[in-house]
Chain A
Amino acid sequence: MTLASPPVPLPSVAAALEAVRPGATLMVGGFGLVGAPLTLIEGLLEHPGARDLTIISNNLGEPGRGLGRLLLEGRVRKAIGSFFTSNPDVVAAYQEGRLEVELLPQGTLAEAIRAGGAGIGGFYTRTAWGTALAGGREERIIRGEPHLFYESLRADVALVRARAADELGNLVYSKTARNFNPDMATAADVVIAEVDEVVPVGALDPEEIVTPHPYVTTVVLSGKAAAR
């Protein structure tokens, strides 16, 4: 498909990211760099208000790439996610006391975001019970099995990556680049979606829409789209 020119001009990345204030909590989609909103992340580097951030994301990018760059620039205060070991810069920042880390099992992270987006305060899961990650969490026996209580997660701003949006902001995704993006698109006060194309209303099959438009605050074009 070719890029449609929407009748309403889309905001620039910089304008969209004005919603990010110092000290904000951000959800950032992606599994490693796959499905990560790389244009928005680069935009954060140019945005002085993007500092002292708490980032909720499965990983913190790769060394010097994606969220890894934001970390290297000292913009991230705390990371909440499931797998940071693949970026040695995260390990170093943590060991030097420059970064606070909250580690959650990946399924618990995903469910905490889903619940946060669904108006649910928290949930019980068997995952991590009886392990060093359980901490001092509340326990409860449900159907004979011990469960741990987790509060749901919400953010001030979510940065998500989708394949396409229509002019209302309905989103469709691409293959495994979907991952955390639809969950995060429900769980923040402001949701900014980075897409490769914007199509007219009616051009997306309603059966294919994963994120309905009321969840989406702003749509911006990816660098990939801008390059075309």
Chain B
Amino acid sequence: MSVQQRIAARVAPHIPRGAVVNLGIGIPTLVADHLPLDHAYLQTENGLLGVGPTPAPDEVDPDLVHAGKQPVTARPGASYFSSSASFGMIRSGRVEIAVLGALQIDAQGRIANWAIPGRPVLGVGGAMDLLVGARTVIVATTHTAKDGAAKIVSEATFPLTAQRPVDLVVTEAATFRVTPDGLELVEIAEDHDLEWVQAHTTAPYRVAIDERGAVHA
């Protein structure tokens, strides 16, 4: 399994049955591959609640896409709506869980995922609305950037997407819970250890491994 799929698989158990969920572009979209078809109601901000699996190539409908502009299907019970209604749904808390990607996560659990210093800022999409509106926000991200730099940092050097902290950060290596006192390491993946997490995380965090964690530190 690719690292992206492993991260998505690690997010899936955090999606309760029957939840209304918005999956962001990239790794978050892959979470659907790890959930039973009827497990959750997937919302996509371009105007569909009840996103179904990718259609076979000969069944693609050009009018039916998710926010990543890839073809999808609509599940029984699905509904279509306008962009303003879609974001009304998001900002008013009807979307219970948003799974988002991140470029950086700071020590308070705030994320940066829309702009890179030194590059023109020409895209923001729906991330800011999802962060203020979704009742629970889960970050699904690689633990480090492509150049190996830590993504979970004391202070973000990239512009923040919102002041609101996320609730959970899931990487291929670890899971952090965001608390009013900062980050808590609550789980380490079986193929990683605390030493690796320590070496690749520059933000301060409390180690609070639960009884299921495979940590022997």
Q: Distance in Å from the Cβ of A140 to the closest Cβ of chain B? A: 15
Closest residue of chain B to A59 (Cβ to Cβ) is B123
In this complex, how many residues of chain A approach chain B with their Cβ under 8 Å: the count is: 47
Question: Are A174 and B63 in contact, CB atoms less than 8 angstroms apart?
Answer: yes
Per the bound structure, the CA–CA distance linking A24 and B79 in Å amounts to: 35
Q: Does B160 contact A (CB under 8 A)?
A: yes
Q: Which chain A residues border B133 with CB–CB below 8 Å?
A: 107, 126-127
Instruction: Tell me how many residues of B have a C-beta within 8 Å of chain A.
Output: 42
The answer on a CB contact under 8 Å between B123 and A179 is: no
On whether the beta carbons of A178 and B91 are closer than 8 Å, the reply is no
* Complex-state Cα separation, A180 to B125, whole angstroms: 13
Find out whether the CB atom of A107 lies under 8 angstroms from the CB atom of B90: yes
User: In the complex, A131 Cα to B47 Cα: how many Å?
Assistant: 26
Contacts A175-B74, A176-B47, A178-B80; is A105 near B61 (CB within 8 Å)? Answer: no
Query: Quick one: which of A35, A85, A101, A175 has the most chain B CB within 10 A?
Result: A175
Question: Which residue of the partner chain, among B47, B80, B81, B91, contacts A125 with CB atoms under 8 Å?
Answer: B91
Q: Is there a chain A Cβ closer than 8 Å to B167's Cβ?
A: no
Q: Which of B12-66 contact A (CB under 8 A)?
A: 44-48, 61-66
Chain A residues contacting B91 (CB-CB under 8 Å) are: 107, 125-127
| CB-based contact B47/A178 at 8 Å | yes
Q: Does B83 reach chain A (CB closer than 8 Å)?
A: yes
Would you call A225 an interface residue if the criterion is a C-beta within 8 Å of the partner chain's C-beta atoms? Answer: no
* B129 close to chain A: CB less than 8 A: yes
A109 partner residues in chain B, CB cutoff 8 A = 83
Among residues 123 to 157 in chain A, which have CB atoms less than 8 Å away from a CB atom of chain B? 125-133
B128 lies within 8 A of chain A by Cβ? yes
A111 contacts chain B at the CB level, 8 A cutoff:
yes
Nearest A residue to B110, CB-CB? A130
Q: How many A-B residue pairs have CB under 8 A?
A: 141
**A104 proximity list for chain B (CB < 8 A):** 124
Please tell me if the beta carbons of A113 and B84 are within 8 angstroms of each other in the complex. Answer: yes
- Which one of A83, A111, A173 contacts B125 once the chains associate, using CB atoms below 8 Å? A83
A35, B63: Cβ atoms closer than 8 Å:
yes
- Residue contact A132 to B159, C-beta cutoff 8 Å: yes
Of the candidates B47, B115, B162, which one forms a contact with A179 in the assembled complex, judged by CB atoms under 8 Å apart?
Answer: B47
Q: What residue in chain A is nearest B46 (Cβ atoms)?
A: A31
- Complex Cα distance, B61 from A174, in Å, reads 10
Q: Are B122 and A103 in contact (CB under 8 A)?
A: yes
Taking the closest CB of chain A, its distance from the CB of B112, in whole angstroms, is 9
Stretch at the interface among A12-20, A64-72, A87-95: A87-95
Residue B205 CB within 8 A of the other chain: no
Which 8 pairs, one residue from A and one from B, show the smallest C-beta to C-beta distance? Answer: A107-B87, A85-B123, A107-B129, A130-B163, A114-B84, A110-B83, A177-B63, A84-B122
9 extra A-B contacts, CB within 8 A, seeds A31-B46, A83-B124, A131-B163 = A35-B63, A82-B126, A85-B123, A107-B90, A108-B129, A131-B161, A175-B61, A180-B83, A183-B82
23 interchain pairs, CB-CB under 8 A = A31-B47, A82-B124, A83-B124, A103-B122, A105-B126, A106-B124, A106-B125, A106-B129, A107-B45, A107-B126, A107-B128, A110-B87, A114-B82, A126-B91, A127-B129, A127-B132, A131-B161, A175-B61, A175-B74, A175-B80, A176-B46, A178-B47, A179-B83
